[in-house]
Structures are given as C-alpha cells and as structure tokens.
Amino acid sequence: MQSITSSDQMAPQFLRRVLLPILLVTTFALLLSGFALYWSVAQSNTISVERQLKSTELYIRAAVDELAQQQEMVAVWDDTVEEVRKAELDTIWLDANIGGWLHKTFGQDKVFILNSENQPIDATVDGQRVSPEAFSPFAPALHDIIMGLRGELSSRHRGHSEERASNPYLTSGKAVNDAHLLRIGDRPAAVSAMLIVPDSDRVTQQPGSESILVSIRFLDGDFLTQISNRNLIEDLRFSLYPDTKDGEVSVPFDSDEHERIGYFLWRPELPGTKILQVIGPSTALVSALLVAAMAFLVAWLWRTMKALGTAIIEIRASEAQAHHLAFHDSLTGLPNRACFEERLNKALLHNKAGEKVAVLLLDLDRFKNVNDTLGHHAGDSVVREFGSRLRAIIPSGSTLARFGGDEFALIHSGISNEQEVEALCSRIIDAVRRPFPVLGTEAFVGVSIGVALAPDASQDCHDLVRKADIALYRAKADGRDCFRLFTCLMDEAVRIRSRVEGELRAALRAGDELRVLYQPLVTAKEGRIIGLEALVRWQHPSRGLILPDQFVPIAEETGLISELGEWVLREACTVALQWPDFVVAINLSPKQFHHSGFADRILAIVQEAGADPHQIHLEVTEGILLDDNDVTQEGVRSLRSAGFKIVLDDFGTGHSGIGYLQRFDVDKIKIDRSFVQDLGQGDGAAVVRAIIDLAHAMKLTVTAEGVETAAQKDFLSSAGCNELQGFLFSQAVPREQIQDIFALTETCRGYAS
Ligand code: C2E
Ligand code: CA
Ligand code: CA
C-alpha cells in the first residue's frame, strides 16, 4: 500500500498484486481438481476393467472344472457302468441320466460315450440324441486327452490328468478324468473326458476296460450370455482376432497348451465414467460458481481498493492542508514562524561562501492606534495590505513570514553587500509610508526594521532572529520608522540591560541600594521653599552611584517601573508626612499608566501612608498626552479627582504643543531645562515668555527647572514664572538634609529679592 495515489497508478498495481495471483490460484485450483477428477475416473475405470478381466478369466477357467464335476455325477456310478455294458443300450435311460440330463441340467453342448476301444457308442448334441458318428469331427482334437486318460505315456495330456486327480476340490478320489480348454474348429471349448467307474463294490470294473464319458461345452454363444448375465458384463463375445469395436476391451484366451485360442471382447463397465456423467454437470456448475465468486471477489477488491485509494488521497490532502495550516498564517496566508525557521535553517545551510543571508524583522509603528481607534477589522486589513505591499517589493526567492500581530520577518539570501539590504529596507519603509485605506478612511503607520546578517552576526537561526530583534528594538528606540543593522555593540547593550534588570530586581527586593533624594522647589518671587521633588538614585555596591537616566529606561522596558515607582511613592509619602507644609512631587513613567487599576494603587499607597493626596504632585511627561489609551486617560482623571495635582514635566520637548493642554487636565507645567539653558541665545527668551503667557491664559501654574544662574532666575521671575527649581537653589539632597535646606531659605530669599 505504499504508493497508491491515483486510480491511474492503481490499475497496473491491482493487476499485478491482486488480479494475477487470484487468476493463478483459481486456474491452478480448477486444473488440480479437474486432474484429480480425471485421475479418479480413469483409476476407477481401470480397476473395474481389471476386475472384469479377472472374473471373466476365472469364470472361463472354472468352466473346465465345473464340467468335470458335472460328469462325475453320472460317470462314477454303478448304474452307468452296468448300462454301458449292455449289448443293447437303453437309450431312454441314457437320455434321462447321461446326455440329455447333462445338457438339460448343465447346458453341456456335446456328450459322447466311448467304449473301451474308444469307439463312440452314444452321442447327444444340444440335448438331442444323434448318431455316434457325430463324434468323428471331434476325435482328432480329443485324441491326446483320451490317450492320456488310457495311460498312454506319449500323451501330452497325461500330466494334466494326474495333476487334476490330486486336486480333491474338483472331483472326488474315484473320478479319473482330464479336462482342458481347447479350440475346436473355430470355437473355444471346455472339454472333459472321464472314465466311467462304479461308485461301490457291488459292481466290478476291470482297469483298462472302462468306457469314457466325453463332455464338450463351447465357450462362445450360450456360455458367454451366461457369463454376461452372471458377471454383469455387457456384450461379451468371442473372436479369433482382437478386432475391438468402439469402447471395447479384449482379453486374449489361451489353451492349456498355451496356444492362442482367440479373444474375448466386451464393452467394459466404466463406473468412473458413470460417476463423471453424474457429477460432471454439478462439478462444472460448482467450477462456474467458483469462477463467478472469484470474479465477484476481484470486482469487490477493485472497488474497495479504489475507495481506499480515494480515502488515502483525501487523507493526504487533509494532511497537506493541516501541514499548510501548521506552517502558514491564516490571516495573510504567509508562512508562520515555524515555516520561517525551517526556511532560514535551509538558507543558512545552503549559503555560498562570500554571500550573506539577511534576516529582517519588521514591526509596524502606531499599529496599536489603528486597532484602538478603528477596530480590529481595520487592524487586520492593514496587516493584510502590509503583507501584500511587502510581497510586491521583496526580491524573488526571499521568504516573507508573519509572526503574529504586526510582526513580520523576511529572509533575503544571496546578498553580496550591506547596501543591498539597506536599499531593500528603504524601499519597504517608503512603501509603508503611503496611507493605508481602511473602512473608508486612511490609516498612517510606519515600519521599524531590525536586520541581522549571516554569517557576520551569527550562523544560528535562533541567534540570528534574536539579533535582528535587538536591531529592531534599537530602530524603535531611535524614533521608529527606520531600520538598524545589528552590531556587536547592540548585543553588548542588551547584555548590560539584562544584567541591570537582574540587579535592579534584586535591589528592589532588598531595598537598601535604592534611595530617594529631594530637590527643593521655590517660589519665583519670594524664593520660599514650597515643595520637594523626589528623585531616585541607585547606590550600586560595585558600580557606585547610578543616575535614573541609566536605569529608569531599563525599568520601563522590563516592567520593573511600576514596582520602582511605587517604592519611590512610599518613600515620598513619609517625607510628606514629615513636612506637611511642603508639596512633594514624584515622577511617573507613562508605562505605569498602562496598567489598569494603577490610579487606585497610587491612591491606596498614599492613604496607607496616611498622607494627603493634595500634598502630592504627580509629574508626567508629554507622551502621556499623545497616549490615546482609555486606561491612561481614565487613570489621570481619577487621580486628579482624588486630589492629586498633575504636573506636565519636561514641557516643550515633545510634540504635544500648547493645544494638547486644552483637552488634557493638568495643573502645572514644568518648562524643560533646555529652554532655560537657551535663554541667552536667539529668541530663547521670547519662546519661554510665550509659553508662560499661554499657560497663564489657561490658568496653569508654571515652573522652570534647571535654573543654575541668577540671570536665569531673574528673567524667569520677571516673565511671570511661578516656581523655580535648579542647582542655583539646591541639588537634590537626602531626606536627612532637608532640614539644612531651611538654612538656605534665607539665601533663596536673597536671590528672590
Ligand atoms: P526630571 O523629572 O526632569 O528631573 C530633574 C532632573 O534635573 C534631575 O535629574 C535633577 O537632578 C536635574 N536638575 C535639577 N536642577 C538642575 C540644574 O540646575 N541643572 C541641571 N543640569 N540639572 C538639574 P535626575 O535626578 O538625574 O533625574 C533625571 C530624570 O530621571 C528625571 O528628570 C526624571 O524624569 C527621572 N526620574 C528621576 N526619579 C524618578 C522616579 O522616581 N521615577 C521616574 N519615573 N522617573 C524618575
Ligand atoms: Ca520631574
Ligand atoms: Ca523635568
């Protein structure tokens, strides 16, 4: 069954494997049973013929002995001796007791009585008394027998008579006779001659003077009919020659002197042939039925095999389908990750020396926006369209796969230099920049691409994908909508990141390496401390002091930011309790807002610490304004209604602009350090002034950070800025030193006046 695929292929296979063996076996069985039948018919015929031959032969031989036995009944008898001695024979007595009686009783054909001189004195032929002269024609044939009986040594029959005399079963001891099978004329005959002797002592008989009784029984004619009847042999006949007619058998018939007398011929009874005639038709019928059954079997097998073949084809088709499903993405029909890995392994294996295999990982930018604003159907259609745009521009022979979501991957082999890949990446980026038509509107997405080249980056499939992923990450970090080729430095950065992650996790758990410093926030006019900003530090046991810029982004990437932020909040709350007159500001990462229930947790922590939300300022960056996520918006709203003040940190560095502030509830903005630094240059002062005026128009408090010089302080103060923060007043200090800052307050006042 290893290769049945179609009925075209099946027919010869069926012929060879099924039809031919069945045909051979059936033919062989039929031939064998035919031969067995023929053999048993022939055998039973042969046995029957042999039996008939044997019994016929015995019967004929027995005729001679019977003849002698019959003679004895009348030849060994006192009465006969006396009767034949009479000068005048009593013919009536002789007819009644000898010739006529022997014919009537035993069917003897010719009966003669010879006197002591061997002269015939009485003759009966076919039961009729005839003249004794009738013996003459038989005299020559019987001469030797008679001579033998008389004791003539020259007679060749002498031995026979002695031999017969010694056989007690044939005749009694008193009978002296000689009997033979002879040919008389053209006829086979049993001949017996017997001395007529007395059976008692009442009559005496001189030896040598006995009369002789001669009986002849022809073995054709009547005799044959008798054998036929008794032996159930049909049409037994005698012939001088073996002139068998149709269906006859012949058996040669020799005299006692081994002279061929002639042949017995008959149509033998053939039981085998009869049986064949009887069972022949039924056997033929059974054979025909057998052939029909075999034909039916063959037809059934053919149908079954065909059905089986179809079933196998169907199974193969569904296997192929299952295989396709297992290796392809259902949305785009593109190969999936499993298929991609298989092909990448092949491409790496067959990569020629001097050529490179590029693995590109592609990730749509702002795809989440499409999903969130237009729904998942729109997202799906963007993904499909993205797939077909890519297919249209990628080189033939390369493999494009979808890993899921908006993640795609490409294998491009046979590359001779990096420029080829860079050109391909640029083409892809351009193709994706065109708007995607969805649901009657247009969606704008971009694509970030990470590339890793084999064998440069790695020769291993998984390692190559991992490195392309690092490059992709870098492309996203570098502002998205661009591509990056993997370099060893990126790998190093990743390694550092993962090490930092582990250490930061441990530090958070232990809680003794992290600490919070506080930087005062002063009023612009009076220089009075009104608050403190909590800024986290990591006192690493071996690497020393690590600033937040170096580990906060890692905490954001790895999800540790929530834990870190909450830890800082708890610390800040204790400070808030200690300095109830001061506002305490903490920094929140936009990532923290993505977790549902975030706002509730913030509130819970503050309440647990016993602090007042009105005393806590939450500093968020502009990114949060762009975040359309409902969870984020809802979180900000509920925090605000709980009494927290929302401060927009690093104002001016993002893309939000003043317009965004209108639809987003904040209480205060913090002008970014860079604007303060630029005050002395160009129209820096005009920009800051405009920001302050606009914020005031929107009833927002304005803080300026990074104030390092008195000139900056003076300008900001005169421009209407409400609060100031910077090294001019104080660096961030440990909580134990907050007390000392009061001492500085006077100084601050000095600056303010
Ligand atoms: P930021 O919120 O803008 O914090 C002010 C940063 O400016 C602080 O840096 C502070 O030390 C520095 N600074 C203050 N005055 C001056 C000045 O006059 N000149 C100059 N050159 N710098 C000044 P720091 O502490 O290194 O913090 C860097 C940033 O890390 C913060 O910027 C904030 O975004 C983030 N950060 C700090 N602590 C946390 C935290 O607990 N959670 C989160 N999410 N972010 C934090
Ligand atoms: Ca801040
Ligand atoms: Ca800031």
Please list, in sequence order, all residues whose beta carbon lies within 8 angstroms of the beta carbon of residue 300, skipping any fewer than 6 positions away. Answer: none
The ligand 1 atom at the shortest distance from the C-alpha of residue 725 is 15
Q: Give Cα 323 to chain centroid, integer Å.
A: 15
Side-chain half-sphere exposure of 112, counting CA atoms within 13 A: 24
Burial of 195 (0-12, 13-18, 19+ CB in 10 A): buried
Average confidence (pLDDT) over 377-388: 92
Is 620 a pocket residue for ligand 1 (Cβ < 6 Å)?
no
What is the C-alpha separation between 8 and 665, in angstroms, rounded? 78
- pLDDT in the model for residue 753: 42
Q: What is the DSSP string of 560-622?
A: THHHHHHHHHHHHHHHHHH-TTSEEEEE--HHHHTSTTHHHHHHHHHHHHT--GGGEEEEE-T
Q: Among 497, 518, 500, which Cα is nearest to 508's?
A: 500
Does 500-752 match 337-486 at the fold level?
no
- Structure confidence by residue, pLDDT tens digits, 527-571: 999 999 999 999 999 989 999 999 998 999 888 999 999 999 999
- pLDDT in the model for residue 167: 52
In the CATH scheme, what is the code of domain 67-219? Answer: 3.30.450
- Structure confidence by residue, pLDDT tens digits, 600-645: 999 999 999 999 999 999 999 887 766 666 778 888 889 999 999 9
Rg value, the chain, Cα: 70
Ligand 2 centroid distance, CA of 585 (Å): 8
Token pair recorded at residue 398? 């390369």
Token pair recorded at residue 700? 């927002």
Token pair recorded at residue 261? 């007398």
In this structure, of 265-279, 428-442, 729-743, the range with the lowest mean pLDDT score is 265-279
447 strand-pairing partners? 364
Residue 752: pLDDT band with limits 50, 70, 90: very low
Quick one: 337-486 is in which CATH superfamily?
Answer: Reverse transcriptase/Diguanylate cyclase domain (3.30.70.270)
Q: What is the pTM of this model?
A: 0.52
Residue 3: pLDDT band with limits 50, 70, 90: very low
Residue 534 backbone zone (phi > 0: left; psi -120 to 50: alpha; other: beta): beta
Quick one: 500-752 is in which CATH superfamily?
Answer: EAL domain (3.20.20.450)
- pLDDT in the model for residue 491: 86
Average confidence (pLDDT) over 725-735: 95
Q: Among 17, 19, 27, which Cα is nearest to 290's?
A: 27
Residue 409: pLDDT band with limits 50, 70, 90: very high
The ligand 1 atom at the shortest distance from the C-alpha of residue 588 is 44
Domain residue spans in the chain?
67-219, 337-486, 500-752
Instruction: Give the CA distances from residue 720 to residues 345, 583, 691, 752, in Å, rounded to whole numbers and listed in that order.
Output: 66, 21, 10, 13
Of 652 and 607, which is predicted with more confidence?
607
Choosing from 514, 516, 532, 535 the residue with most ligand 1 atoms within 8 A of its CB, the one to mutate for a pocket test is 535
Spatial strand order in the sheet of 120-125: 128-130, 120-125, 110-114, 212-218, 187-195, 177-184
Please list, in sequence order, all residues whose beta carbon lies within 8 angstroms of the beta carbon of residue 524, skipping any fewer than 6 positions away. Answer: 704, 713, 716, 717, 721, 722, 723, 724, 752
The amino acid occupying position 596 is S
The amino acid occupying position 524 is A
Is 691 a pocket residue for ligand 1 (Cβ < 6 Å)?
no
Cβ proximity of 177 and 170 under 8 Å = no
- For the chain, the average pLDDT equals 87
What is the C-alpha separation between 64 and 556, in angstroms, rounded? 139
Q: Given the structure tokens 């000392």, which residue do they identify?
A: 740
Is 632 a pocket residue for ligand 1 (Cβ < 6 Å)?
no
Q: Answer whether residue 158 shows pLDDT above 60.
A: no
Q: Give Cα 476 to chain centroid, integer Å.
A: 48
Burial of 117 (0-12, 13-18, 19+ CB in 10 A): exposed
Q: Answer whether residue 221 shows pLDDT above 90.
A: no
- pLDDT in the model for residue 4: 44
Q: Give Cα 162 to chain centroid, integer Å.
A: 95
Is 634 a pocket residue for ligand 1 (Cβ < 6 Å)?
no
User: Which run of H or E residues covers position 657?
Assistant: helix 657-662
Q: Which protein residues have their CB within 5 A of the ion that is ligand 2?
A: 587, 619, 649
Cβ proximity of 435 and 444 under 8 Å = yes
Of 690 and 153, which is predicted with more confidence?
690
Is 648 a pocket residue for ligand 1 (Cβ < 6 Å)?
no
- pLDDT in the model for residue 154: 54
- pLDDT in the model for residue 6: 61
Is 535 a pocket residue for ligand 1 (Cβ < 6 Å)?
yes
Q: What's 17's DSSP letter?
A: I
Runs of H (alpha helix) within 209-350: 222-231, 271-327, 337-349
Max mean pLDDT range (15-24, 167-176, 624-633, 731-740): 731-740
Cβ proximity of 534 and 587 under 8 Å = yes
- pLDDT in the model for residue 471: 94
User: Which run of H or E residues covers position 55?
Assistant: helix 20-75
Ligand 3 centroid distance, CA of 585 (Å): 11
- Structure confidence by residue, pLDDT tens digits, 41-77: 889 888 888 888 888 778 877 888 888 889 889 999 9
Cβ proximity of 443 and 432 under 8 Å = no
Ligand 2 centroid distance, CA of 352 (Å): 55
Q: What's 134's DSSP letter?
A: G
Residue 699: pLDDT band with limits 50, 70, 90: very high
Please list, in sequence order, all residues whose beta carbon lies within 8 angstroms of the beta carbon of residue 657, skipping any fewer than 6 positions away. Answer: none
- pLDDT in the model for residue 151: 80
What is the C-alpha separation between 113 and 213, in angstroms, rounded? 5
- pLDDT in the model for residue 168: 46
Ligand 3 centroid distance, CA of 192 (Å): 162
- pLDDT in the model for residue 319: 87
Q: Answer whether residue 412 shows pLDDT above 90.
A: yes
Give the percent of the chain with pLDDT over 70.
93
End-to-end CA, the chain: 102
Residue 707 main-chain phi, psi, to 5 deg: -80, 115
Is 549 a pocket residue for ligand 1 (Cβ < 6 Å)?
yes
Q: What is the DSSP string of 353-417?
A: TT-EEEEEEEEEETHHHHHHHH-HHHHHHHHHHHHHHHHHHSPTT-EEEEEETTEEEEEEEEE-S
Q: Answer whether residue 104 shows pLDDT above 70.
A: yes
Is 710 a pocket residue for ligand 1 (Cβ < 6 Å)?
no
Cβ proximity of 447 and 365 under 8 Å = yes
Q: Answer whether residue 410 shows pLDDT above 90.
A: yes
